[in-house]
A = this chain, B = another copy of it.
Amino acid sequence: MGEGRRAHSTARQSDVHVRALLRGLAVLEVLAQGQDLNLSEVARRARLPVSTTHRLLETLRRRGFVQPVEDGRYRVGLRAFEVGMGFLRAQRLPDVARPVMVELVDRVEETANLAVRDGAEAVYVLQVESDRMLRLFGQPGSRHPLYCTGVGKVLLAWEPEEEVRKLLGRGPLPRFTPRTLTDPDAVVRELRVVRARGYAVDREERESGVRCVAAPVRDAAGRVAAALSVSAPASRLPNRRIPQVAATVVSAADEISRRLGFSAVRNSPPPAGKIPVPSES
């Protein structure tokens, strides 16, 4: 920065966006919440004029990204689903992780989740359900805070503290249950524990009655690429059972990491700096 003498408008590479497309995407995002909305509600939520919204919706509809449903309401369409699944199709992660997760679920008899980080939130990408239980929460595609979920803590734990602070903000953090940690400092301390023992625990911090245990999945470069978790009703995850479950989760996560090309050999402490090779370039 430190420039700014372009005559007419700013010449930032940042603002090469196409407004009409941005607005169309905004409409899609509004509908993605999962409720069917009519034109004017979409317009209100997307903060767009009605007639503009109408045009955008019509365009999205023609392409199948949005489908009209009874009563003049709209909902996310099949094509959007298809495109969205393209995300999984392109990643190696889901294919690699799924069989391991099936195995894991078999062992612990509880539902397993795989999540990745997106900014200050975790997004569930894959879920393998135990038949012992109907879904607790967190369908694939849903977002969750980082500081009060097992996967979230894992996704945070190996980030540099400065980054963590930035993501958490200055607090207090929104409280979901009596056990939620609302003080960023407390979270940072907790993350230290997570890092030390190699897995994270969520004791009803996000949702009363639900506990989970999570471990990091690393990619070939050694970065934490995802978090694997097992969640269960608190009654089925008493403290004394946690170490054993955690061991199982960690070993499953390690297996996924291995298959992604990560080799743990030289990195007891996960790779922080560069390789200390004194040879010059």
Contact B88 A139 (CB under 8 A): yes
Contact B80 A86 (CB under 8 A): yes
Q: How many residues of A contact B (CB 8 A)?
A: 61
The listed residue (B13, B17, B24, B143) touching A21 by CB distance below 8 A is B24
Q: Which residue of B lies closest to A17 (CB)?
A: B59
Max chain B Cβ within 10 angstroms of own Cβ: one of A22, A28, A55, A140: A28
Bound state CA distance, A88 and B88, in angstroms?
A: 15
Complex interface bits, A45-63 against B, C-beta within 8 A gives 1, otherwise 0:
0000000001110111011
Q: Which residue of B lies closest to A51 (CB)?
A: B16
Q: Is A64 an interface residue (CB 8 A)?
A: yes
Contact B17 A20 (CB under 8 A): no
Complex interface bits, A139-157 against B, C-beta within 8 A gives 1, otherwise 0:
1111100000000000000
Q: Is A77 an interface residue (CB 8 A)?
A: yes
Pick out which of these stretches binds chain B: A30-38, A200-208, A247-255. Answer: A30-38
Contact B21 A83 (CB under 8 A): no
Main SS at interface, chain A: helix
**Which residues of the other chain, B, contact A20 by a CB distance below 8 angstroms?**
18-21
Contact B139 A29 (CB under 8 A): no
Contact B22 A63 (CB under 8 A): yes
Copy number in the complex reads 2
Contact B82 A141 (CB under 8 A): yes
Return A104 CB to nearest CB of chain B, in Å. Answer: 12
**Which residues of the other chain, B, contact A89 by a CB distance below 8 angstroms?**
32-34, 76, 139, 141
Contact B76 A84 (CB under 8 A): yes
Complex interface bits, A96-113 against B, C-beta within 8 A gives 1, otherwise 0:
000100100010000000
Pick out which of these stretches binds chain B: A123-131, A160-168, A231-239. Answer: A123-131
Q: Which residue of B lies closest to A28 (CB)?
A: B83
Contact B90 A87 (CB under 8 A): no
Return A277 CB to nearest CB of chain B, in Å. Answer: 17
Return A235 CB to nearest CB of chain B, in Å. Answer: 22
Q: Is A118 an interface residue (CB 8 A)?
A: yes
Bound state CA distance, A139 and B98, in angstroms?
A: 13
Q: Is A195 an interface residue (CB 8 A)?
A: no
Q: Is A134 an interface residue (CB 8 A)?
A: yes
The listed residue (B25, B77, B140) touching A65 by CB distance below 8 A is B25
Q: Provide 5 A-B residue pairs closer than 8 Å at the C-beta atoms, listed in order of the A residue.
A: A22-B59, A31-B90, A82-B123, A85-B141, A88-B141
Q: Which 4 A-B pairs have the closest CB atoms?
A: A84-B84, A85-B141, A32-B86, A34-B89
With A28-B83, A35-B90, A99-B134 already in contact, 14 other A-B pairs whose C-beta atoms are closer than 8 Å: A22-B59, A24-B24, A29-B83, A31-B90, A32-B85, A32-B86, A33-B86, A34-B86, A76-B86, A76-B87, A81-B87, A82-B84, A84-B84, A88-B139
